[in-house]
Structures are given as C-alpha cells and as structure tokens.
C-alpha cells in the first residue's frame, strides 16, 4: 500500500462535524484518563493490518491507554437500562490513516465488565472487546482508583488518576488535538479481513489539569506491545462527552491471498 498523504490541521478538525447519519448508539463517556507513550513509527507499523498506515505527529507514533466510565449506552429508540448501560471500559489504541488519508483510531483491545456489551461490540463493530474484572473507587480528593484485570490474564492494571481546574480545549494542529480529538474508528472483519470504519460525534473534550498518582504498562504488555520503562509522555484528563455512534461501512477490501 502506498503511504497516504497526512491530513492538514484543518482537515483533521473537519471531522468534528456531525455526519448527519442515522444514529446507532447513544452513550456518555465520563472521567477519562489519556495516558500516551510515543513509539518509533516502524514499531507500530508492524502491528497494523493491511490497509492502515501509522498516523504520526512530528515523526512519532503514539499508543494510548484510556480508562473511562461508560454511561447510558443504548441503541436508538431503546431506553438505557442501568445494569446493562453503565459499565467500565479500558482501551489500548494507536492512531492510523486509511488509504485515503482519513485519520482515526485502531484499537488493540477494549476491556469491559459488561459481557453483553462485549459480545455486541465484537459482532456489530468487529472490535476486540474482552471481558475483564474491573473496579473503580472515587476518593475524597477527587482521585479515581481504577483497576482492571482481563479474564485469563495473570496480572491486572491499576491507574490512579484525576483532574482539576478550569476546563480548556485542545487546539487544532497541536499534539493534544492529535491524541484526543478522534472521530473515526477502524476495525477488521475477522472472517474476511476487510477493514471497516465507523464515525462518532461529540463536542470537543473539556480538558482539566491531570493528576496521575499510579500507572503501569500491563495493558501494553498484554497486547504484545513493547513496554516503555518510563512514565507516560502525555497525560490528559477529561470529565467526558456525550457521544453519538454511527454504523460501520467497509472502507478497504483485502485482496485475495494478502496478509491481514
């Protein structure tokens, strides 16, 4: 695959616009921590399926570990059900371009403590969701003690984080915007190997001053990624956004006999 032309800052910002398509899911993403490490692009390129290229910022690739609270997740025309619609999720992701240069997210994994949500996302969106034992406690100091242990894994992760201060927003053209403001996801059909894409829409993330008291690289190791021996290069915190999710469409058909 020829390397796509990276989008300009203006083109990246244009993905914030609502696609005005029929909504498949409504959801609220709350109290997110964004822990990011930089990697050499060649290391990340080896982990991607055919049809996707590494999206870089100043010649660096980035991998994020993002714990969050999923709230009021429900399909269009179906009300939220507390025991089904509220759960914890932690995802490991990197940033990619498709063959047309569209910027999006590639998820290495998404752990959640809601089996129905895990099954539905694997079937409906071809996402690598996995069941996990998860627990989060809010401290009196506003910190969140967030723990996740993937089913079958020998060890789990603990991320102790919070945020404070006045909200601000990432500006187009900055590293913050590159890491935080993403509106397109890519996934791979396990049967055909074809790459699909799906849109999400939300207002820009309000960002507070982050506080990170505990972290580790367990989730990177579980996903077969090199584990950096340093704290995250970038840390962000957001109280969250309300999200509309749209349906998948096939954006890249894997050629016969090609490696996926």
Residue 11 domain flag: no
Residue 49 domain flag: yes
State mean pLDDT over 104-132: 95
Position 76 scores a pLDDT of 87
Residue 257 banded pLDDT, cuts 50, 70, 90: very low
Position 79 scores a pLDDT of 76
Percentage of residues of the chain with pLDDT beyond 90 = 87
Residue 125 domain flag: yes
Residues near 196 by Cβ (< 8 Å), separated by ≥ 6? 125, 126, 186, 187, 188, 189, 248, 249, 250, 251
CB 241 within 8 A of CB 202: yes
Position 254 scores a pLDDT of 64
Residue 3 banded pLDDT, cuts 50, 70, 90: confident
The range of the structural domain enclosing residue 79 comes to: 25-249
Residue 255 banded pLDDT, cuts 50, 70, 90: low
Position 1 scores a pLDDT of 61
CA distance 231 to 92: 16
Residue 48 domain flag: yes
Answering whether pTM is above 0.75, one says yes
What are the φ/ψ torsions at residue 225 (nearest 5 degrees)? -100, 150
What digits encode the pLDDT tens for the residues 11-20? 999 999 999 9
Whichever domain contains 185, its CATH number is: 2.40.400.10
What are the φ/ψ torsions at residue 128 (nearest 5 degrees)? -85, 65
Residue 86 domain flag: yes
Q: Is 140 helix (H, G, I), strand (E, B) or coil?
A: coil
Residue 17 domain flag: no
Residue 154 domain flag: yes
Kindly report the average pLDDT of the chain as a whole number: 94
Residue 29 banded pLDDT, cuts 50, 70, 90: very high
Name the nearest CA neighbour of 232 among 255, 212, 207: 212
What digits encode the pLDDT tens for the residues 74-93? 998 887 777 789 999 999 99
What digits encode the pLDDT tens for the residues 149-193? 999 999 999 999 999 999 999 999 999 999 999 999 999 999 999
Residue 14 domain flag: no
User: What's the total number of domains in the chain?
Assistant: 1
What digits encode the pLDDT tens for the residues 205-238? 999 999 999 999 999 999 999 999 999 999 999 9
Position 26 scores a pLDDT of 96
Position 140 scores a pLDDT of 77
CA distance 83 to 6: 42
């Amino acid at each position: 695959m020829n390397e796509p032309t990276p989008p300009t800052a203006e083109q990246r910002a244009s993905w914030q616009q609502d696609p005005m398509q029929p909504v498949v899911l409504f959801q609220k993403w709350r109290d997110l921590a964004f822990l990011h490490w930089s990697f050499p692009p060649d290391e990340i390129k080896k982990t991607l399926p055919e049809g996707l290229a590494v999206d870089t910022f100043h010649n660096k690739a980035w991998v994020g570990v993002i714990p969050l609270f999923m709230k009021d997740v429900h399909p269009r025309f179906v009300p939220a059900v507390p025991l089904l619609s509220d759960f914890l999720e932690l995802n490991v992701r990197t940033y990619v371009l498709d063959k047309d240069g569209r910027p999006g997210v590639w998820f290495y994994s998404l752990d959640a403590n809601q089996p129905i949500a895990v099954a539905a996302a694997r079937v409906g969106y071809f996402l690598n969701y996995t069941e996990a034992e998860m627990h989060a406690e809010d401290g009196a100091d506003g910190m969140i003690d967030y723990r996740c242990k993937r089913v079958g894994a020998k060890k789990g992760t603990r991320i102790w984080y919070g945020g404070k201060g006045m909200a601000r927003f990432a500006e187009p053209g900055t590293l913050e915007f590159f890491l935080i403001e993403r509106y397109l996801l890519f996934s791979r059909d396990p049967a055909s190997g074809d790459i699909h894409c799906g849109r999400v829409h939300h207002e820009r993330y309000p960002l507070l001053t982050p506080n990170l008291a505990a972290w580790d690289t367990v989730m990177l190791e579980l996903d077969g990624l090199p584990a950096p021996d340093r704290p995250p290069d970038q840390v962000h915190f957001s109280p969250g956004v309300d999200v509309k999710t749209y349906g998948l469409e096939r954006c890249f058909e894997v050629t016969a006999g090609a490696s996926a």
